[in-house]
Amino acid sequence: MDVALISDTHIPSRAQQVPDTFRERIEQADHVIHAGDFDSKGAFADIDALAPQLTAVAGNMDPRIGLSAVATTELGGVEFIVTHGTGSSRGYERRVATTVGEYAETDTAVGVSGHTHEVLDTTHDGVRLLNPGSATGAQPAIRATMMTATVAEGTIDVAVHEA
C-alpha cells in the first residue's frame, strides 16, 4: 500500500496550491495522511477530492474546518497516529511521542505530525515520528516537501520528496 504524507499546506495564507508533482503523488497514493494546517475549507476540499482516501487532523490554523486533533488509521499492518504537534518547538518530539503513546493500540505505532514545517524521521522514546514538512514550502520551510510510505505486513519504508 502506498501512502502520501503531507502537512502544513497553508492555502491561501502562505501559498496558492500544492505543487503539481505532489498533487500527482497524492492522486496516485492508496491513502493520504494530512497532519494539519490546511488553512481553509477550500484547501481541505481540494486535498479531499484528490485523495483516494484521507486521514486528516486539524492544525493550529484550522479552527473552522471541524477536524479532530488526533486521528488513527491502520494501513498495511502499520498503525498511524496523526496529530499536528501544535505548541513550542521545545519538547516537540516528546509531545508528539506522548500523544502517540496515549492513542496507540500497538507497540509499533508510527506518529505523523506537522507544525514545524521541517522534515523529520526519528525515534523518540521508542516511537517512530514522521513529519513531512510543508507540502507548499510555506515559511519557515525553505522548500516544499512531502513523504511517501510503502506499508505492507507491518513494515514501513519512507521516502522524502522535494518540489
What are 23-42's pLDDT values in tens digits? 999 999 999 999 999 999 99
d(C-alpha 31, C-alpha 65), whole Å: 20
Give the domain 2-162 fold: Purple Acid Phosphatase; chain A, domain 2 (3.60.21)
pTM of the entire structure? Answer: 0.97
Domain limits of the chain?
2-162
Return d(Cα 88, Cα 75) in angstroms, integer: 30
- Give the pLDDT band of residue 156 (cuts 50, 70, 90): very high
- Nearest C-alpha neighbor of 61 from the set 111, 119, 134, 124: 134
81-126 residue pLDDT tens: 999 999 999 999 999 999 999 999 998 899 999 999 999 999 999 9
pLDDT value at position 63?
75
- Side-chain-facing half-sphere of 63: CA atoms under 13 Å: 1
pLDDT at 107: 87
Residues 24 and 22: their CA atoms lie apart, in Å, by 5
Nearest to 41 by CA among 59, 22, 62: 62
Burial of 33-57, coded b for 16+ CB within 10 Å and e otherwise, reads bbbbbbbbeebbebbeebbeebbbb
Per-residue pLDDT, 86: 96
Asked whether the beta carbons of 33 and 135 are under 8 A apart, the reply is: no
Tens of pLDDT, residues 119-154? 999 999 999 999 999 999 999 999 999 999 999 999
End-to-end CA distance of the chain: 23
Section 56-69 average pLDDT:
93
3-state secondary structure of 103: helix
